[in-house]
Amino acid sequence: METVLYTDLGLIPYREGWDVQEKYFNDMVQAKLSLRTHPDAALPPHRLFLCEHPHVYTLGKSGSMDNLLLNEDELLAHDIEFYKNNRGGDITYHGPGAIVGYPILDLERFFTDIHKYMRCLEEIIIRTLADYGIAAGRIKEYTGVWLDPENPAKARKICAYGVKCSRWVTMHGWSFNVNTDLSYFNNIIPCGIKDKDVTSLARELGHKVDMAEVKTILLGKFEEVFGCRLV
C-alpha cells in the first residue's frame, strides 16, 4: 500500500500554491530520471495538498481567453487574480469555500492510465457527495462531477478538474465547490461550457457546510479510491 503525505495549506494565494506544487513535482520527476544512473535511489513520497485560494480565475493551456468575460481593469476592480497555467482544461474559478486538491503522485506506483486517474479523482468527490445524500455522476463529453448528469437541462457542475502529468507524475487537480460564492462564475464561461450551470454543496443542501467535516470525508474517500494511506 502506497503512503501519501497530506498537508492542508489553508487559504493560500494561487501563485504560492502553484509554487509548492512545482517544487514537489520537479523533485519527483528529477528523482525518477536519476534512477537511470542510480537504480537503487529512493523516490520522494507522494503528496496531497488541500487548500483554498483567494478569488482567482485560472485558464488551462488548451483554454480560450474568450471565456474570460472581464478585462484587466475589471479584474482589478473586483480584486480577482488571473493566471494562465500549465494544466489541462479551460477556465475556472477558485475562491474561499472551494476545496482545491493538488495530488503530486507517481502514477507508476499506482497505475499508468491517465484516464483512469481522472475517473479516480472524480470518484472521490462522487463518494463524498453520497455521504451528504447527493447523487452525482459524470457526463461523457466532459470531465468533472455533475448533478443530474442525465438531464441536459438541469445538469450542473459541482467539481472541476485540470491536471498535468509528466513521466507519470501528476500535479494540479480539482476544485470542489462547497461554500463557494457562485456569483464569481458569472464573469467566465466555466470550463468553456455555455449551456451548463455550476453549483455548490451549500446550494444543494440549502445551508453552509462545515469545511473541516467535508475535508475529513474527502480524505477518507481518497484513501479508498487509491488504496493508499494518508499520513
Examine the residue annotation and report whether 165 is marked as an active-site residue of this protein.
Answer: no
Instruction: Identify whether the C-beta of residue 46 lies closer than 8 Å to the C-beta of residue 109.
Output: yes
Torsion angle of the four alpha carbons 46, 50, 55, 59, in this order, in degrees rounded to the nearest 10? 30
Strand partners, 164: 171
Instruction: Give the CA distances from residue 68 to residues 40, 65, 94, 195, in Å, rounded to whole numbers and listed in that order.
Output: 48, 6, 14, 16
Instruction: Identify whether the C-beta of residue 165 lies closer than 8 Å to the C-beta of residue 88.
Output: no
* Catalytic residue chosen out of the listed positions 51, 159, 191, 228: 191
Q: Give helix 114-130 / helix 211-226 axis angle, nearest 10°.
A: 140
What count of other Cβ atoms lies within 10 Å of the Cβ of residue 111?
Answer: 12
Q: Please name the residue that has the C-alpha cell 474568450.
A: 66
Strand pairing class (91-94; 56-59): antiparallel
Tell me which residues are annotated as active site: 191
